Structure 1
Amino acid sequence: MDRGTFVQHEGRPAVRFERTYAHPVERIWAAVATPEGLAHWFPSRVELEPHTGGKITFSDDPNTEPTAGTVLAFEPPLRLAFSWGGDELRFDLEPVDAHHCRLILINVLEARDTAARNAAGWSVCLAELGKHLSGALTDGPHGEAAEPWKPLYDAYVASGMPYGAAIPGAPSGA
């Protein structure tokens, strides 16, 4: 399974993930581009105006304050992109065949040193997305049954991914 890589995206630092799911593109779109689908695996509660230029809001994440961004691309069922703070998130869907879809998630980073922290977070979230798509009940990435974040973070740091950004909820210097 792709655990994510550190890349440059249009000249900016980013972490990139690729997953292929045994579901048609419409099913994956519903999971990644609707508030109802995102509720199962995304770290925040999301409300969005489903069009390019629309407003998107994020709330109910125990690690961040509520915030808002802009929908940068809304092209059902193939692309959703939006700003989130100084970052951008891109979800690109590629139908493999009638029953399989590839998801490429790119988190374009405001700061290079957030790469390992964010990659670990997206690994947890994508594991929850996989559970949701398989029909399993999930409590989301903050739930007790979610994959632990810290070992993933440590593995990204050990692999050489940029790190050093503050970790919400951790003591200074952790």
Structure 2
Amino acid sequence: MSKTPLTVRGAEKLREELNQLKGTDRPAVIKAIAEARAHGDLKENAEYHAAREQQGFIEGRIAEIESKLSNAQVIDVTALPATGKVVFGVTVVLSDEADGTEKTYQIVGEDEADIKAGRVSVQSPIARALIGKEEGDVVDVQAPGGQRAYEIVEVRYE
């Protein structure tokens, strides 16, 4: 399996979630199962079945996060040389060629993507169009609304 790129912030968030699941959520659901089991007949015990289902979700998420972290290549963009080239983890300021509006995006891993927060997945069409380009370049992006042209105004390594 190939390594999946992840920013330092993304890796920290996954570790925080993993600690929450292992340290708080897992013990709470184990306690809930024990309490429900004490109520007697397990066949018709809705609390028991709900707690077991919750336990399954928690264990599945723990396994998923551990797998992601073990296959992650954590990239600290602040340690990269600031060459003005668009690479994974950088923040890019774009100017729309059609109307001059500016947009700012950070290129992040799939799990970190949040378009409302300005973080786009490295797999997204806009990120794929930007990777390898430099400040001043104009890139064409095939967006859902059609072809768009953006000028790369600034590349920040933050």
- TM-score between the two structures when normalised by the length of structure 1: 0.24
Instruction: Specify which structure has the higher proportion of strand.
Output: 1
Instruction: Specify which structure has the higher proportion of helix.
Output: 2
- TM-score between the two structures when normalised by the length of structure 2: 0.25
